[in-house]
Structure 1
Amino acid sequence: MPEIEHAAAAEEETALFGKYELGRLLGCGAFAKVYYARNVKTGQSVAVKIINKKRLAGTGLAGNVKREITIMSKLHHPHIVRLHEVLATKTKIFFVIELVRGGELFAKISKGRFSEDLSRRYFHQLISAIGYCHSRGVFHRDLKPENLLLDENGNLKVSDFGLSAVQDQTRPDGLLHTLCGTPAYVAPEILAKKGYDGAKVDVWSCGVVLFVLAAGYLPFNDPQLMVMYKKIYKGDFRCPRWMSQEVRRFLSKLLDTNPDTRITVDAMIRDPWFRKGYKEVKFDEEVWSRGGR
């Protein structure tokens, strides 16, 4: 886990801890701001997510931030946003992360649906990252296009591990029991509140993401939340007429309301629709963790 360094508040105003020059604001949320920054020694461009501890304390989300640090520090994969280090003052926490220049996948899909081939390409990269997470005992639990970023080469990067769970959070029944995730992407077993398998929940969310990429809209949607939940619970969705039979069949395996029969990541990789143009992502995890390629 990256060591959290502490410094006097004044240091952050000019060069952050003497290591990073802060630049323009890239985005902001309720208790965090993200800035462009440059490593003073190496000249490397990074993003710095600055979290206000006081504002965070009022949200009850401090545990999420700690979890995100723990999880991101052990994930080293080409399709996962890299955490370089974590710094802190008395009032703020600084996540120094990989700068992903292409923006959110959400911004791209909001302009219109993707071709089946492009949808499949992004889906290959998403499943490569999620399969890797699951092999490390990490379940994302909040997969959606807003949490999927694109680099300058158009490659997908999974971000935002604030709602993630790790294997040791499971109860004696081997299941997770926390209600979380974004409503339209949430799996039916989470709504049932009976406990769920984190890997199966991620597969469902990946199915919703794939539908959005290929159709340009959500499979389960309604202005009334309870109506939408009923649709999710029943698996009540319709594919648009332009979708091929192959992708419809594949989606039905992902959006299977029964988690016991829902397709697994391993089975997905063997599926004919998925296999078209698929190349396994090969990388040296140790080299990648040190910032290499």
Structure 2
Amino acid sequence: MSTQSLADGRYLLGSVVGTGGMAEVYRARDTRLGRDVAVKLFRSAAADGVSRGSDEARLLAGLHHPGLVRVLDMDSSSTSSGPTYLVMELIEGPDLGALLADGPLPSDAVRLAGWDVARTLAYIHQQGILHRDIKPSNILTRTTDPDSGVFGYLLTDFGIARFYDAARQTATGQTIGTAAYLSPEQARGGAIGTPTDIYSLGLVLLESLTGARAFPGTSLESAVARLHRPPEIPAALGSNWQSLLSRMTAAHPDDRPTAGAVAAEFAQWQTPEPHTEVFTTGGPHTEVL
């Protein structure tokens, strides 16, 4: 597909830079504006690809935040024989999942990741939106100067994001998302709200620090495990991380901090807290899509 073009030759597809259950993301060239972009191409076999692609584009078109990947263009094949695709800003850098394949990250890098993503979540939650699928592969990275104000970690893939009732803080209860990062309420198929995204982010940050998933195993084993025990947070990470991650992954949603509170706490950490290196066994894991 490296020679495939879209929009009558405007977008020339290059290499695949990401893949998921319903779509593949290509590096592409916008020949009209002379710039590199990312094209999310939905597979024709995905029955609801057209609907989800359109929903994602419309949702993101109304959002403006430095921690979000911008949507630049879209086309829907609902009335034509062409593919459904989104054209997005190209982020030069691996996703967080790819970085973790090489092992855990330094504590301060994880703090910066948490700070960026928490600020982005605070923004989308204020817009009445739940992401519902916070996981390493949905966090893109790029090299930045920490003092520049540019976000080095960006939240992407709003394919299953939904608006929620801000007054009741709930959305339709469905077991949807990636099993390894589901909140307990998601695993039960119960009503969910903004604390769901906080729980998932807590698991992502814990994995970034230790290099291992808190709830490994098959999708079913992983989902059920969190209903019976909290994630294990090593004391070696230090008291700051222990306290924050314990609150973010509290079993009851009401006991979790808001995204704004998480971001504020990270902002107060001037330097990474000294801690003993955490060693884990096992090789790189395969992302569950």
TM-aligned CA distance change 1:277 to 1:98, over 3 Å: farther
- Paired residues of 2:187 and 2:224 also in contact (CA < 8 A): no
- Paired residues of 1:49 and 1:95 also in contact (CA < 8 A): yes
Question: What's the offset of the Cα at 1:79?
Answer: 1.4
2:7 corresponds to: 16
2:241 corresponds to: 247
Question: What's the offset of the Cα at 1:174?
Answer: 4.2
2:118 corresponds to: 127
Count of residue pairs the alignment pairs up: 260
User: How does 1:153-172 map onto structure 2 within 5 Å?
Assistant: 153=144, 155-167=152-164
TM-score for the superposition, normalised by structure 1: 0.79
Structure 2 residue matching 1:201: 3-state secondary structure: helix
1:64 corresponds to: 52
Pairing 1:138–2:129 present? yes
User: How does 1:65-214 map onto structure 2 within 5 Å?
Assistant: 65-89=53-77, 90-91=80-81, 92-153=83-144, 155-167=152-164, 174-197=170-193, 199-214=194-209
Unaligned runs of 5+ in 1: 1-11, 279-293
d(CA) in 1 for partners of 2:64, 2:53: 18
Structure 1 residue matching 2:174: 3-state secondary structure: coil
d(CA) in 1 for partners of 2:228, 2:168: 28
- Paired residues of 1:34 and 1:48 also in contact (CA < 8 A): yes
State the identity %. Answer: 27
Question: What's the offset of the Cα at 1:63?
Answer: 3.6
1:289 corresponds to: none
Unaligned runs of 5+ in 2: 145-150, 272-289
Residue 154 of structure 2 aligns with an amino acid whose one-letter code is: K
1:276 corresponds to: 269
d(CA) in 1 for partners of 2:169, 2:135: 28
TM-aligned CA distance change 1:269 to 1:25, over 3 Å: closer
d(CA) in 2 for partners of 1:241, 1:172: 36
2:257 corresponds to: 263
- Paired residues of 1:113 and 1:215 also in contact (CA < 8 A): yes
Residue 153 of structure 2 aligns with an amino acid whose one-letter code is: L
Per-residue displacement from partner, 1:167-214 (whole Å, max 9, x unpaired)?
36x8988443122111111111122333122x1100100110110111
d(CA) in 2 for partners of 1:152, 1:39: 23
d(CA) in 1 for partners of 2:216, 2:109: 24
Structure 1 residue matching 2:46: 3-state secondary structure: helix
Instruction: Let me know the Cα RMSD of the aligned residues.
Output: 2.7
- Paired residues of 2:68 and 2:156 also in contact (CA < 8 A): yes
d(CA) in 2 for partners of 1:249, 1:173: 25
Question: What's the offset of the Cα at 1:14?
Answer: 5.0
Deviates more, 1:152-161 or 1:138-147: 152-161
Question: What's the offset of the Cα at 1:74?
Answer: 1.5
TM-aligned CA distance change 1:189 to 1:23, over 3 Å: closer
TM-aligned CA distance change 1:79 to 1:174, over 3 Å: closer
- Paired residues of 2:169 and 2:192 also in contact (CA < 8 A): no
TM-aligned CA distance change 1:56 to 1:171, over 3 Å: farther
TM-aligned CA distance change 1:65 to 1:275, over 3 Å: same
TM-aligned CA distance change 1:47 to 1:15, over 3 Å: same
Residue 79 of structure 1 aligns with an amino acid whose one-letter code is: G
